[in-house]
Amino acid sequence: MERISKEQIRHVADLARLELKEEEIAHFGEQLDDVIKAAQQLNELDTTNVEPTSHVLDVRNVLRDDVVKPSLDRDDVLKNSPDDDEGQIKVPSVLE
């Protein structure tokens, strides 16, 4: 592990809410070091005549026409809801 420190791995693991053992930190450190080496090899390529691109393929968004269609009746939908408030279905919070 030359390019990434154990502290950096611990920091990223903490941000991802992962608990890593020391041997896992060493293992991931080696893997991340290999990824960084591969990315640095790309910096050695001559790209002077290569146009910058955001994607290798010519990607376009395909949009459909916005057509108004009938929807479900709110009261019918809320009949099956265990809890609702002001016409909206209430669900338990998933955020800490």
Q: Which domains does the chain have, with CATH numbers?
A: 6-42 (1.10.20)
Q: What percent of the chain has pLDDT over 90?
A: 45
pLDDT at 1: 52
Sign of CA dihedral 72, 75, 81, 86: positive
At 93, the pLDDT band (50, 70, 90 cuts) reads confident
Confidence grade of residue 58 (pLDDT, cut at 50, 70, 90) = confident
What is the reported pLDDT for 62?
A: 86
Please give the average per-residue pLDDT across 8-16, as a whole number.
93
From residue 49, alpha-carbon distances to 40, 46, 71 in Å are 19, 8, 54
* 74 burial via Cβ count (<10 Å: 0-12, 13-18, 19+): exposed
Mean pLDDT over residues 54-62, rounded? 83
Rounded to two decimals, the pTM is 0.47
Residue 59: what pLDDT? 81
